[in-house]
Amino acid sequence: MEDCNKIWNVLLLEISNKISTVSYDMWFNSLEPLTIAHNKLILVAKLKSTKNTINSNYRNIILDEIKKLNSYVDDFIIITPEEIPVYENQLQEDKKEKETVENYSFFDNNFTFDKFVVGQSNQIVYVAANAVAKQPGTLHNPLFIYGGVGLGKTHIMHAIGNEILKHNKKAKILYCTTEQFVNDFIDSIRNNKDNNEQNRKFREKYRNVDILMLDDIQFLAGKTGTQEALFHTFNDLYQYKKQIVLSSDRHPKELTFLEERLQSRFASGLTVDISTPDLETRIAILQKKAFFKNVNLPIEVVYFIAERFDSNIRELEGALQKVIFYCQLVGKEPDNIEIIKEALKDDIDVTTHILSIDTIVDATCSYYNVKKQEIIGKKKLKQIAYARQVAIYLINDMLGVPLATIGSYFGGRDHTTIIYARDKIEEQSKTDNMLANQIKDIKNMIQKR
């Protein structure tokens, strides 16, 4: 059972943003959380009028926030002080369970499967994590996820937790970093006087769960005693078909500092990796993040950012956040490349030329004297359509960008349209010397930029 004070504090914070200060001070300030009974949060109101007013006017607001918690609490009851004795038995049970309730985890509502952008770099991880969330303990146990910093390992672990709790609110899930596991183990052996009691608490915390998730397992390096404790914890959970999910910055076989038997346990289930996202995935991530932040980014801006931040998702999200902050600060919209360059001037070398879709399109527009918005847009005037087809051909020829990506850049055009434009220019340039020279001229322009 979760700590009712913790849950109520989270709810109060959210409720305060939904109602007026006067209403909050009058009706909510005096409420006190009592306990959790039968998946219901029990609140105490000093006055019956407070109880009646909240039930009549604010019940739906509170329920909406409770649903967002992804906790097994699904309702609330308000009682008056004279009704408290009815819940005395439940209070006694809460007291007995207090040591273990604090062990179970909350999960970030922003880290769900719906908000996880799937691409070639993480598709296998996504499918495996979904399978584990649907049937924990029966498929892919343990699930070992590895990859570099900022690629989404923590997101996918939180997504598993959120998905499991969505369908089973009573599931006992413990998610923590390996550093926390190490610290808890050290605490369990620190004081000889209370050694047995501390050992009991440690065992109960990590073994009395349905799902155990440990993040950054590589931090077990050099910690022989903790490895021993994890080995026995792993065996106990695995024996009773409890799901184990682990993450690391490298494959289990590369964790050479681990005891061989522990290394073997980690590799006994399904091992999947998250690699650096490709351009298309980075574009999709930026578009999705911008959507959730209610920010409208033109496609050329999305491409500009995605092409320059290619090492991990965290950097990409940081760049987007910096652009949003800068534009709010100066009172401008993030609708052109110059503003983006100014916002990110400390993070990228704006003077260094990077071959990109934007570079090719800009050069083509300049050569044929057409506007960029026209070539990207829907206009079908002969001169614009011709320049568009040349640009499509050059992008495919010089960058090898997937057809779907090119289609997205040019206003969401179908891939068959992109194929037609590419093939038409390619074939025509073989017999049309003027077109061949034009293509050569534009390439020279690009190379000199």
Among the ranges 73-77, 395-399, 425-429, 442-446, which has the highest mean pLDDT value?
A: 425-429
Tell me which fold the domain 123-274 belongs to: Rossmann fold (3.40.50)
pLDDT in tens, 112-169: 998 888 888 889 999 999 999 999 988 899 999 998 888 889 899 999 999 998 888 8
Q: Which residue has the higher pLDDT, 243 or 307?
A: 243
Distance between CA atoms of residues 224 and 220, nearest Å: 8
Beta strands (DSSP E) in 84-228 are 143-147, 173-177, 211-215
Q: How confident is the model at residue 196 (pLDDT cuts 50, 70, 90)?
A: low
Residue 237 — φ and ψ, nearest 5°? -65, -45
Give me the CATH code for the 279-343 domain, please.
1.10.8.60
Give the pLDDT score at 352: 47
* Weakest-pLDDT range from 33-47, 187-201, 240-254, 257-271: 187-201
| CB-CB contact of 3 with 69 (8 Å) | no
Give the pLDDT score at 292: 83
pLDDT in tens, 73-83: 888 999 988 88
Average pLDDT over every residue of 93-120: 70
Give the pLDDT score at 413: 85
Coil/strand/helix, residue 288 = helix
Mean pLDDT of the chain: 85
* Weakest-pLDDT range from 208-212, 308-312, 347-351: 347-351
In terms of Cα–Cα distance, which of 296, 344, 298 is closest to 319? 344
Q: Specify the DSSP class assigned to residue 27.
A: I
Domain boundaries, the chain: 4-100, 123-274, 279-343, 357-448
Distance between CA atoms of residues 15 and 35, nearest Å: 19
Using the predicted structure, report yes or no on whether residue 449 has a pLDDT greater than 70: no
Q: Which residue has the higher pLDDT, 350 or 114?
A: 114
Average pLDDT over every residue of 12-16: 90
Using the predicted structure, report yes or no on whether residue 198 has a pLDDT greater than 80: no
Q: Which residue has the higher pLDDT, 11 or 355?
A: 11
Strands 40-44 and 75-79: parallel
* Weakest-pLDDT range from 30-39, 87-96, 164-173: 87-96
The Cα angle at residue 68 between residues 62 and 71, in degrees rounded to 5: 100
Class of domain 357-448: mainly alpha
Give me the CATH code for the 4-100 domain, please.
3.30.300.180
Distance between CA atoms of residues 139 and 121, nearest Å: 22
pLDDT in tens, 217-232: 888 888 888 898 899 9
Average pLDDT over every residue of 94-109: 59
Q: How confident is the model at residue 191 (pLDDT cuts 50, 70, 90)?
A: low
Q: Which residue has the higher pLDDT, 446 or 268?
A: 268
Q: Which residue has the higher pLDDT, 216 or 201?
A: 216
Same-fold call for 4-100 versus 279-343: no
Give the pLDDT score at 128: 95
pLDDT in tens, 364-391: 998 888 888 888 888 788 889 999 999 9
